Amino acid sequence: MKNKKNFELWQVAVIGSVGLIVFLTVWEGAVRSGLIDAFFLPPPSAVLKRMIQLSTGTDAVLLRDIRVSAVRVLVGFALSALVGVPAGLLMGISPTMRAFFNPVISIIRPLPALSWIPLSMLWLGIGEEQKYAIVFMGCFASVLVYTTDATMRVDPLLSLAARNLGAKRLQVIRHVILPGALPNILSGLKVVLAIAWTCVISAEMVGANVGLGFRIWTAKEWSDTGQVLVGMISISITVLLLDILFRLVERALLPWQKHGVHR
């Protein structure tokens, strides 16, 4: 860490912007010069134009798409965290629970969200519940595994110290395991939040009429590559914004973490 070159924030911003501009210029140039067929990859200027079209005037669908998809992501994600974090804590604390649930979790975890579409439609139809369910199923097992792992990685010495100070079992969980696992649980949840977005795009493949996934899939049916790209970029931007938001939450919850560095 020490020997790495440390840039100021503005320097990072400038270098990053230059990188982005170079990337966009090369892209635009490659299409304009005919190196790439614009049908296969519309230039950034065309994508931007399409983005403006889709977010202003009578056809302003983009903001609603973002909002609807974000709600689906957040609801499904929140549900999976609500169930997965306590269950993961339990599994992290109790070897019996871990042994009991591990096989089932191992079966569910590798299933892609897409594979839940047929059953979810059968059980829940094509409404919002089904979208939430797909996001939930795509996230739940990961939340569980990350939380279990985070719980098990809490330094056992800290539990020992707490017990020495007179902590009962529940107090150890409340005062040591929970706060000790929190940083790793949060970084796990951050990864899962990105997974949730891949799930919602799958969920919106069928039985949808709004959402970024729907926008991309229908644009494909019309061969509207520009709109496909607008949808993709909107996902990136939204995920980026949510990530920043998440970092702020993280910072608020873990005030002790950013310090560690100045030793």
At closest approach, how far in Å is the CB of 87 from another protein?
23
Q: Are 148 and 91 in contact (CB under 8 A)?
A: yes
Q: How far apart are CA 11 and CA 2, in angstroms?
A: 19
Residue 13 within binding range of another protein, rule CB under 8 A: no
Q: Which of residues 193-232 bind another protein (CB under 8 A)?
A: 205-209, 214, 217-218, 220-226
Q: Is 97 in the site for another protein (CB under 8 A)?
A: no
Among 125, 240, 247, 248, binds another protein (CB under 8 A): 125
Q: Pick from 11, 62, 66, 54: which is nearest to 241 by CA?
A: 66
Q: Which is nearer to another protein, 83 or 183 (CB)?
A: 183
Contact between residue 74 and residue 135 where contact means Cβ atoms under 8 Å apart: no
Alpha-carbon distance 7 to 177, whole Å?
36
- Is the Cβ–Cβ distance between 249 and 189 less than 8 Å? no
Pick out residues in 139-158 that bind another protein (CB under 8 A).
155, 157-158
Q: Does 41 bind another protein (CB under 8 A)?
A: no
| Residue closest to 109 by CA, chosen among 71, 147, 75, 152 | 147
SS3 214: helix
Between 174 and 247, CB nearer to another protein: 174
Contact residues for another protein, defined by CB under 8 A: 37-39, 59, 121-122, 125-127, 155, 157-158, 160-168, 171, 175-176, 179-180, 182, 205-209, 214, 217-218, 220-226, 254-256, 259-260, 262-263
